[in-house]
Structure 1
Amino acid sequence: MTGGSALSLRRFLRSAGFAWAGVRHAYRSQPNFRIECWAAALALSLTAVLGAPLAPILLTCALVLSLELLNTALEAVVDLASPELHPLAKVAKDAAAAAVLLASLGALGVGAVVLGPPLLGVLRGGLP
C-alpha cells in the first residue's frame, strides 16, 4: 500500500492539494464557475447581513459549485475520449449542464424562501 494510512494527515493534505488544484483550474478556465462563485459569495454575505439561516444557503451554494466542478470534469473526460463530435458526447455534456442548471434554479428557490422575507423586511424599512 502506498501513501500510508487512510487517516494520515500528510495523505489528507496531499489529496486536498489535488482538489484545490481542480478548483483553481475551474475558476481560471470556466466563466460559469466564476459567476457561480461570486453569486455564492453574494448569497452568503447577504445571509450574514440579514441574519438568515446559514445552512440552507451554504448547502445550496456547495451543491451548485460541486455540480459545476463535476460538469467541468465530465466535459474534460468526454473531450479526451471523443475529440470529434459525437451524438453521445453531446448527450453527456448536455445532461451534466442540465444538472447544474436544475441545481441553480433550486438554489434560487431556496434563496427566495430563506432570504426573501428578511430582505423584504429591510426594504420596507425594518432592520435585519
Structure 2
Amino acid sequence: MSSHPSPFKSKGGFSRVINAARYSFRGLRAAVRDEAAFRQELLLALILTPIAFWVGQTGAQILALIASLVFVLVVELLNSAIEAVADAISLEENPFIGRAKDLGSAAVLLSLLLAAGLWVVVILNHWHPML
C-alpha cells in the first residue's frame, strides 16, 4: 500500500462540497445516458411517486413507498458502478468478475422485491384496512 496520498482525494472546505455535487450529477447523467436498467427504474419511480401520495394513508407510509423507490435507484447505481469497474479491469471472462456482477445483480433483485412487497402491502391496506 502506498504511503503517498491520492491526488484525487479532496482537500476539504466548501470547494469539496461543490466538487462532490458536480461528481454526483455527472454520475446521475451517466446513469441516465448509459444504463438502460437505471432509466427503466427511474421511469417507474417517476410514475409511482405521485401514486404514493394517493395510496399511502400516513406520512410514514408515503415516505416508505418513496424511500423504497429511491433505494432501488441507489442499489442500481452501485451495481452499475461495480459493472463499470469490472469492465475497466477486464472484458475477458473471469470467475471473480462474473461473481461480482452477479452479486450486484442479486442486490438489485432484492431491492426490487423489497419495494414490490412494500407497495403490495400498502396498496392492499389502502382498500382493506383490516389486512
Residue 73 of structure 1 is aligned with which of 74, 77, 81?
81
Is it true that 1:15 corresponds to 2:6 in the alignment? Answer: no
Q: Percent identity?
A: 33
Q: How far apart are the structure 1 equivalents of 2:92 and 2:67?
A: 37
Instruction: Name the count of aligned residue pairs.
Output: 117
Residue number in structure 2 paired with 1:108: 116
Residue 56 of structure 1 is aligned with which of 50, 64, 75?
64
Q: How many angstroms does 1:39 deviate by?
A: 1.1
Whether contact under 8 Å (1:26, 1:33) holds in the other structure is yes
TM-score scaled to structure 2, two decimals?
A: 0.80
Q: How far apart are the structure 1 equivalents of 2:32 and 2:38?
A: 6
Residue number in structure 1 paired with 2:4: none
Q: How far apart are the structure 2 equivalents of 1:117 and 1:17?
A: 41
Q: How far apart are the structure 1 equivalents of 2:94 and 2:10?
A: 39
Q: How far apart are the structure 2 equivalents of 1:18 and 1:58?
A: 24
Whether contact under 8 Å (1:67, 1:99) holds in the other structure is yes
The Cα offsets for residues 75-124 of structure 1, whole Å up to 9 and x where unpaired, read as 01011112211111111101101100111011000111123332x47xxx
The aligned amino acid for 1:21 is R
Q: How many angstroms does 1:50 deviate by?
A: 3.4
- The secondary structure found in structure 2 opposite 1:101 is helix
Structure 2 residue ranges without an equivalent (≥5):
1-8
Q: How does 1:1-40 map to 2 (within 5 A)?
A: 3-5=11-13, 8=14, 10-40=15-45
Structure 1 residue ranges without an equivalent (≥5):
122-128
Q: How far apart are the structure 2 equivalents of 1:2 and 1:62?
A: 27
- Call closer, same or farther: CA 1:23–1:86 in 2, change over 3 Å: same
- Call closer, same or farther: CA 1:49–1:110 in 2, change over 3 Å: same
Kindly report the root-mean-square deviation, in angstroms, between the aligned alpha carbons of the 2 structures: 1.9
